[in-house]
Structure 1
């Protein structure tokens, strides 16, 4: 990860672009300058972005919250996989027309953020692939349909989505994709979903056996009950993110190479991504990134066991959404370290500040970011580098 000065001058946050099939089509990287009047190096920002999203890699959308930095970015030449979000007031300003037209000619997808208060310049409108309409600003929320023949001039994306219901409703209203984390659905006691419980039982049993260091033969017999689980486990272990130099060819080989402790973390990852409900795809996407980010935030500690537990805490932090059970009930059946239980079921303990930091990153709020960073006593640059490392590792798992 490039050690560039700008990582200490901005606060980063990330969220997904969710397509109609509920897959994540791109990542939105929000960039908040810590000092609005500071001169920032756009080339450094693009260097940091390219470290995670190379030109031949996945798409990333830059949501820059500082006008000066965005002006510089609009006059740069980002790689073709970099999308740029441009606020409506800047798109309407004729002084930006040439830069917007040049960005489009460079091959960058442009996104119009917000509703223009005046008509866009004639040359500018065709440059935008989508408009981003925040949920709080969508005039169609009451269900009324526009007059016959009246359509939005640009296909739209729905921003500010926080629940599964909001996501479904946005697609029903014609959104091409949604932006946000649909993870805020309320969980009620006794609200356990029947779907996926068989898969969960197999994985929970396997996690228990690994936790108890039972013989390999017993673990293999449990795994044989679910061939798809065995396949996914082998795929994860052989992914670039795992960093092994030899290919793992069997579950027995995996245990010999990894040991029980390292194997347990990947079983935790499998459990968090077990749901077959298509609406859970973005939730599982978030869970993987939470685990990797919490582990990276703990990198400065020399306590390897703590970092491993932080990973499990992050990965498990959305299990209540995946299986629709409160943590107090859910974790009664899954062996987890005490610090993980405290953070998830009791919202207390030494891991709670790390979880607060992850939520602040997801929220896209500069105030929350600063508050969480102070509580965790980590520098901005360290947090930003942890985010970018985590996002890089996550991309290697998919």
Structure 2
């Protein structure tokens, strides 16, 4: 099947190291470097959070580090942060515009709740002002901008931060050796800036599955449906399954084990968090997306491979066969080169080898599935002989996969 790359909204996320006084990297600050207007509403702000955790975890190697992520005030009001591991995130919170007392008091309630739930909060030096007195006990980190703040104010502010909070002092925007020396003299315990590390930028894609499938998943979760029903729905939408596996294996989720099956992912995330995640995905989906045709083909491939392996493979291997077929068009679904697309997921080595190189049993099964799909008689006959399948068995698996895809509304 020949497909054209599809345009996708792109986010540019930058990573910058935060080090301790021994210059050991202890955390990374992540920043949205996108400039397009439509990428800066509340929905995309939330999308940036999950893309930052998931995409940059692999692309920029931050899995084992704490992540500093700036959140808009509006995005703090939702419950999407429950989908993350509080121990992995530091939420950077900007001052209230105009320092309005009512707004400071209102946001304090939200911040106090986040603090109670185990999230670490970071503020800039403004938090030592009297207007922010209620926020001061909530501060785990306070940042002092070595560039924007006049040099003669560095020591008074550092003294105030130590006196009014129990926070770790982070000296940021360090761009010279003199500023580094000054930060250390102030007692800064964390250091950040161009002199320490220049930000590295990665492009991330916002992947949006079919609206109808997300809506159905949301309803299944609300109705406390059986895991088998939820798993079946995830299997019929490649992007939906991709998003869930990417989330569950992200740095922000904080698992110590790799999750490669939909059933395992659903069991680990739990119904409450799955409902919240689905609601967030729902707000970002577009009906009538041109990826529908590609997605249908991917689902048919996955189902056909699952059927071909039914009498020959273990249940776990059959699951891998389905995943290999389902994600074999991930490059087209995300409009990314396949090697970059596969880096966004943690998949078993045989699945990756099958998709990228066509090797192993799954790789040859995938090649056979593609031959049946493209009516390539020469490759079909050769691969059928190699794998020991008769043409009737293969054709029935292909037909059953097409019927199955049609029966689930694709």
State whether TM-score is above 0.5. Answer: no
Shorter-chain TM-score tier = 0.3 to 0.5
Q: Structure 1 length normalisation: TM-score?
A: 0.39
TM-score (norm 2): 0.38
**If you compute each CA radius of gyration, which structure gives the higher value, 1 or 2?**
2
Q: Which has the higher helix share?
A: 2
